[in-house]
């Protein structure tokens, strides 16, 4: 089972700490007005100065990194692990255009926090709010799309009947399956999932699309192709008894209108943007951590 972004974040922190490398976790715990990131955004600063995650970039993040490096220095020389807090008005204090106010909490995490980190991973897994996506097809566009969705808040289930079609490694937010009958997956797809169909076979595309549209709890069915392919499929779907209301859930050509280009990466970017728009209508922005996390 793939991990959520929050779980992966804490897993990376835990890996570093277990290797004897303390980490300063930097988290946005409060915002008012316009801010680069929402509450819950996190960044981890390692003892060597490297970091992962982001609280929004710019002067705010630069100052937070400097604070984190100072905390690492205090820990290495005196064993000091006192948490810090930054309260900044982005315009007056930092010259940033956002104009809002943010509160940033910083906490140094060392070996004594291993149990706490493990609990955060469990909590993140149980509170996973990624949008489920079922992707059928591991061709050029399917591969590009899996990569485009890798850093985004989606849980991707990727299906193809050809084992050799998949890359050697798939993104961390992805579970890949080689199945002789991909159509059967539709019956096991969770309600609310977004479905994308781009297999190597038009007949298989039709069967998967029809099965997905036959369910009224799958709100988005995206099909790769042209306007001509859509017209042909719509006729065939009507012949199969699909209602006009369900056929209206078919997005073909899939992707945002106005983005031209047939390169797989371009198509994948267009589809990823469309999925983000769909997700924003269905799920709230997930909070990764709150201030209570730093009392652990």
**How far lies 27's CA from each of 8, 131, 192, in Å?**
15, 23, 30
pLDDT above 70 (res 293): no
pLDDT at position 35 is: 83
Query: Does the pLDDT value for residue 292 go beyond 70?
Result: no
Q: Mean pLDDT across the stretch 195-213? A: 97
Task: For residue 124, report the phi and psi dihedrals to the nearest 5 degrees.
Answer: -65, -40
The predicted-structure confidence for 278-291, as pLDDT tens digits, reads as follows 998 875 444 444 44
Q: Once rounded to an integer, what is the mean pLDDT over residues 23-38? A: 90
pLDDT of res. 288: 42
Q: Residue 178: beta bridge partners?
A: 160
249 vs 155: CA distance, rounded Å: 21
- Residue 120's pLDDT is 86
Whole-number Å distance between alpha carbons of 117 and 95: 35
Is 80 exceeded by the pLDDT of residue 21? Answer: yes
Q: What are the start-end ranges of the H helices in 174-250?
A: 185-188, 202-213, 227-239, 244-247
Is 166 within 8 Å of 178 (Cβ atoms)?
yes
What is the structure's pLDDT at 290? 43
Q: Where residue 122 falls among pLDDT bands split at 50, 70, 90?
A: confident
Q: How many CB atoms lie within 10 A of CB 150?
A: 15
80 CB-near residues (< 8 Å, 6+ apart) = 71, 74
Closest Cα to residue 211, out of 103, 288, 136?
A: 136
Rounded Cα gap, residues 291 and 98, in angstroms: 22
| CA angle centred on 63, ends 60 and 67, rounded to 5° | 135
Nearest Cα to 110, choosing from 42, 19, 17? 17
Q: Which two tokens stand for residue 129?
A: 């709010």
Could you tell me which residues are beta bridge partners of residue 134?
Answer: 157, 195
In this predicted model, what pLDDT tens digit does every residue of 217-237 receive, in sequence order?
999 999 999 999 999 999 999
pLDDT at 100: 83
Distance CA 201, CA 53 (A): 39
Does residue 30 surpass a pLDDT of 80?
Answer: yes
Cα gap 268→254, rounded to integer Å: 10
- Where are the chain's structural domains? 5-126, 131-280
pLDDT score of 296: 46
Q: How confident is the model at residue 2 (pLDDT cuts 50, 70, 90)?
A: low
- Quote the pLDDT of residue 47: 93
Q: Which residues contact 106 (CB under 8 A, 6 or more apart)?
A: 24, 25, 26, 27, 64, 67, 68, 71, 83, 84, 85, 86
Is residue 129 predicted with pLDDT exceeding 90?
Answer: no
* 177 vs 7 pLDDT, higher one: 177
Q: Tell me: pLDDT of 202 over 60.
A: yes
Mean pLDDT of the chain: 89
CB distance 196 to 271 below 8 Å: yes
Strand pairing partners for 43?
A: 26, 53
Q: Give one word for 259, left, alpha or beta, with left for phi > 0 and alpha for psi -120 to 50.
A: beta
How does pLDDT run across 48-107, given as a tens digit for each residue?
Answer: 999 999 998 788 899 999 999 999 999 999 998 889 999 988 776 666 666 688 899 999
Give the CATH number of domain 131-280; options: 3.30.365.10, 3.20.20.80, 3.40.50.720, 1.10.3720.10.
Answer: 3.40.50.720
* H helix intervals, 106-241: 114-126, 140-149, 185-188, 202-213, 227-239
Rounded Cα–Cα distance for residues 210 and 217 (Å): 14
Strands (E) located in the chain: 23-32, 42-46, 51-53, 84-89, 101-109, 131-136, 154-160, 174-178, 194-197, 220-223, 250-251
- Mean pLDDT across 132-151: 96
């Amino acid at each position: 089972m793939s991990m959520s972004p929050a779980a992966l974040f804490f897993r990376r922190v835990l890996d570093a700490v277990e290797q004897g490398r303390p980490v300063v976790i930097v988290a946005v715990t409060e915002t008012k007005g316009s801010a680069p990131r929402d509450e819950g955004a996190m960044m981890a600063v390692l003892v060597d100065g490297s970091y992962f995650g982001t609280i929004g970039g710019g002067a705010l993040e630069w100052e937070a990194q400097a604070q984190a490096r100072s905390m690492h220095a205090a820990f290495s020389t005196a064993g000091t692990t006192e948490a810090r807090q930054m309260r900044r008005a982005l315009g007056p204090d930092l010259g940033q255009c956002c104009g809002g106010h943010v509160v940033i909490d910083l906490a140094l995490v060392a070996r004594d926090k291993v149990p706490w980190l493990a609990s955060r991973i469990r909590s993140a897994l149980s509170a996973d709010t990624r949008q489920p996506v079922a992707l059928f097809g591991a061709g050029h566009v399917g591969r590009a799309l899996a990569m485009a969705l890798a850093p985004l808040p989606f849980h991707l289930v990727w299906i193809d009947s050809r084992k050799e079609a998949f890359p050697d490694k798939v993104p961390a937010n992805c579970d890949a399956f080689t199945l002789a009958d991909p159509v059967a997956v539709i019956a096991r797809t969770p309600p609310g999932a977004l479905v994308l169909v781009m297999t190597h076979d038009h007949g298989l595309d039709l069967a998967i699309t029809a099965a997905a549209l036959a369910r009224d709890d799958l709100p988005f069915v995206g099909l790769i192709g042209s306007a001509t392919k859509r017209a042909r499929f719509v006729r065939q779907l009507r012949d199969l008894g699909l209602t006009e209301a369900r056929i209206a859930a078919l997005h073909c050509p899939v992707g945002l209108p106005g983005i031209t280009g047939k390169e797989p990466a371009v198509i994948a970017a267009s589809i990823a943007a469309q999925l983000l728009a769909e997700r924003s209508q269905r799920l709230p922005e997930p909070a990764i951590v709150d201030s209570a996390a730093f009392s652990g």
